[in-house]
Amino acid sequence: MRAWAVVENGAALQEVEWPTPEPVGTQVLLETTHCGVCHSDLHIWEGYYDIGGGKRMSLKDRGVVLPLAMGHEIVGRVVKLGPDAVGVKVGDLRIVYPWVGCGECQACLSDEDNMCLTGRALGVYQNGGYGTHVVAPHPRHLVDPGALDPAVAATYACSGITVYSAIRKLLPIAPDEPIVLVGAGGLGLNAIAVLKALKHRRIIVVDVSEAKRAGALAAGATKVVDGSGEGVTQRILDAAGGPVLGVIDMVNSTATARFAFDALRKGGKLVQVGLFGGELSLPLPIMAMRALTVQGSYVGNVKELRELVALAQAGTLEALPVSVVPQSQANDALMRLRDGKINGRVILRSDAA
Ligand SMILES: [Zn+2]
Ligand SMILES: [Zn+2]
């Protein structure tokens, strides 16, 4: 197999030749057809996250080993099954759920692998879709995209379930209660699409960029709020008609977390999704008296991936704009993402597609 791998953090991806893995046990070997280039790939490539106060969380310390084929928004075609793998056959096209764990703990056995304490995510701790082949640990991690465009279906494995899982953490909220989304980048637009598909009617979007706010309105946001400078909380309250029950922060910086938290009403919940970095200090008596919740949300589980794919197949979920490039251009695609030159999602397509 070939891969476009991180060999050294922060250096260009290198095309490498590796032995094609042999699936054992319940494993399934797939030939990658499509793989999304995700913003978190940039952090993996750089090798760290900013966790505020000038501190960095090193991915090497967290167990990421190089060389690594990144890529966790994978669609592939089954080419070989381990002796204990049942439920798929050679030739099947499948979305690969990448947020896998040990496969043995209660979380993994409940289809909540992303809550496993020993995460083994594809494209992070194991090789992913920046290679010609990928190994899924178990057939239950494979989801049939049906008639969906595989380039779009690939994005459901990360950006899709990331917003879907965050929204599920907020709901139920009545369709006419405002839900605030912070950040109108790819995740934000995706969240608008999912909320609309779930028949939610009031969506307020905050962003610092006028162009992105316009994009959010075009995508179906009810109102938009300028997220720059002072007074953002007040502008959110004005747009919402008062404090709100739910905010999803897809930026999650020191500044956005502050204004998002301050916009919550009694019983409100702030779901933190973004990985921008920074810190938030909480007024503890207010947390108690207003019964507030601040909850982190990271990707989603395989049940949520199945639900999201079903929602897309029902035809009410608008497909995000994707641009498709050859898999061999993985490095170029990653660099364009770093330089902010990408609108929508870039999908690597292999020769096998
Ligand atoms: Zn991702
Ligand atoms: Zn586990």
Q: What is the pLDDT of residues 92-101, one digit of tens each?
A: 999 999 999 9
| Nearest bound ligand to the CA of residue 104 | 2
Among 65-79, 102-116, 287-301, 313-327, the least confident range: 313-327
Q: What is the Å distance from ligand 2's center to 113 Cα?
A: 6
- CA pair distance 24, 304, nearest whole angstrom: 27
- For 206, half-sphere exposure in the C-beta direction (CA atoms, 13 angstrom radius) is 30
HEC readout, 68-123? ECCCCEEEEEEEEECCCCCCCCCCCEEEECCCCCCCCCHHHHCCCHHHCCCCCCEC
Q: What is the pLDDT of residues 245-294, one digit of tens each?
A: 999 999 999 999 999 999 999 999 999 999 888 899 999 999 999 999 99
223-252 pLDDT, tens per residue? 999 999 999 999 999 999 999 999 999 999
Q: How far is the CA of 171 from the centre of ligand 2 (A)?
A: 26
Q: How far is the CA of 276 from the centre of ligand 2 (A)?
A: 27
What percent of the chain has a predicted confidence (pLDDT) above 90? Answer: 88
pLDDT band at 60 (very low <50, low <70, confident <90, very high): confident
Model confidence at 345: pLDDT above 80: yes
Distance (Å) from CA 97 to ligand 1 centroid: 11
For residue 236, give both structure tokens: 């959110």
Smallest-distance ligand from the CA of 111: 2
CA 180 to centroid of ligand 1, rounded, Å: 22
CA 55 to ligand 1 centroid distance, Å:
22
Which ranges of 171-228 would DSSP assign to H, the alpha helix?
Answer: 186-197, 210-219
Buried b (16+ CB within 10 A) or exposed e, 164-188: bbbbbbbeebeeebbbbbbbbbbbb
Alpha carbon of 156 to ligand 1 centroid (Å)? 10
**What would the pLDDT profile of 15-47 be if each residue is shown by its tens digit?**
999 999 999 999 999 999 999 999 889 989 999
Distance 73 CA to ligand 1 centre (A): 7
The residue whose two tokens read 């020191």 is: 254
Between the CA of 112 and the centroid of ligand 2 the distance, in Å, is 8
Which residue, 59, 71, 68, 58, is CA-closest to 7?
68
Ligand number nearest to the C-alpha of 114? 2
pLDDT score, position 319: 86
C-alpha 110 – ligand 2 centre gap (Å): 9
pLDDT over 90 at 62, yes or no: no
For 148-179, write each residue's pLDDT tens digit.
999 999 999 999 999 999 999 999 999 999 99
Is the C-alpha dihedral spanning 180, 183, 189, 191 positive or negative? negative
Ligand 1 centre to CA of 72 (Å) is 6
Beta partners for residue 55, in sequence order: 52
> How far is ligand 2, taken at its centre, from the CA of residue 122, in Å?
14
CA dihedral (142, 250, 247, 223) in degrees, to 10, reads: -110
User: Which helix (H) or strand (E) segment is 176 a member of?
Assistant: none
CA of 302 to the centre of ligand 2 (A): 13
Question: Which contiguous run of DSSP H or E holds residue 174?
Answer: none
Nearest bound ligand to the CA of residue 109: 2
Closest CA to 308 of 318, 295, 296, 293: 318
Q: How far apart are CA 118 and CA 109, in angstroms?
A: 13
Q: Which of helix, strand or coil describes residue 241?
A: coil
| Ligand 1: centre distance to CA 287 (Å) | 31
251, 182 in Cβ contact below 8 A?
yes
Closest ligand (CA of 43): 1
User: Minimum-distance ligand to the CA of 102?
Assistant: 2
Cα(335)–Cα(289) distance, rounded to whole angstroms? 47
Q: Are residues 47 and 53 in contact, defined by beta-carbon separation less than 8 angstroms? A: no
Q: How far is the CA of 118 from the centre of ligand 2 (A)?
A: 6
Taking CA atoms, 241 is separated from 98, 234, 245, 257, 293, in Å, by 40, 10, 12, 20, 21
Q: Could you tell me the distance, in angstroms and rounded to a whole number, from the CA of residue 218 to the centre of ligand 2? A: 41
CA distance 151 to 116: 28
Sign for the pseudo-dihedral over CA of 333, 336, 341, 344: positive
- Distance (Å, whole) CA 330 – CA 248: 30
Query: How many other CB atoms are there within 10 angstroms of residue 298's CB atom?
Result: 15
Distance from the alpha carbon of residue 286 to the mean position of ligand 2, in angstroms: 36
> What separation in Å is there between the alpha carbon of 47 and the centre of ligand 1?
15
Cβ contact 350:325 at 8 Å: no
Give CA separation, 113 vs 12, 22, 93, 244, 304, in Å: 31, 23, 22, 32, 12
How far is the centre of ligand 1, averaged over its atoms, from the C-alpha of 316 (Å)? 23
CA of 262 to the centre of ligand 1 (A): 28
| Distance of CA 41 from the midpoint of ligand 1 (Å) | 7
Backbone dihedral region for residue 73 (phi beyond 0: left; psi -120 to 50: alpha; all else: beta): beta
